[in-house]
Amino acid sequence: MSAPDHMKPINPELIDTLVKASESDWIPNDAEGKAFMKVLFTGEESGHWAALFRWSKGFVAGPHKHLSAAHTYVLKGRLQVRDGILEAGDYLYERNGMIHESTTALEDSEYIFICDGPLVFFDENGIQAYLGWEELERMKAGFEASNAA
């Protein structure tokens, strides 16, 4: 059944975004080879982004602040987030402005992370890294270029 004319998009070029994540490679996301990701979506118009993360047991993500809200859904493994432990099937909503100390993979873990904007990583010396949709696109493009070479 076709949508009524008054419900049809003004922009007829609109299409869904489908990512066959099972067919894409894991992008290394740390120097020790314990963290990897697959970029699922980046929204240049909104700053939203989604990624599938894979962390090996013992990986630690440093302290960071959410400059937007984020959603985490654990597919497998266990993650220590602040005073709580997330396990497979757990969902976490992280509000804009949340500050996290280290987040640790207690087991080999995979999780979906959907973020409304960037994160900023810091330590006692100040800001160490910024992660938003543009950085994800740069990491993905760099990885694809190095694999093509």
At 27-36, the pLDDT tens digits run 999 989 999 9
Give the span between the Cα atoms of 84 and 88, in whole angstroms.
13
Give the span between the Cα atoms of 33 and 55, in whole angstroms.
9
Residue 127, classified by CB atoms within 10 Å of its CB into exposed (0-12), middle (13-18) or buried (19+), is exposed
Structural domain boundaries in the chain: 29-148
* CATH superfamily name and code, 29-148: Jelly Rolls (2.60.120.10)
Say which DSSP state 25 is in. Answer: P
Q: Whole-prediction pTM value?
A: 0.89
At 96-117, the pLDDT tens digits run 999 988 899 999 999 999 999 9
Minimal CA–CA distance to 132: which of 63, 72, 44? 44
At 22-60, the pLDDT tens digits run 899 999 999 899 999 999 999 999 999 999 999 999 999
Cβ neighbours around 21 below 10 Å, total:
13
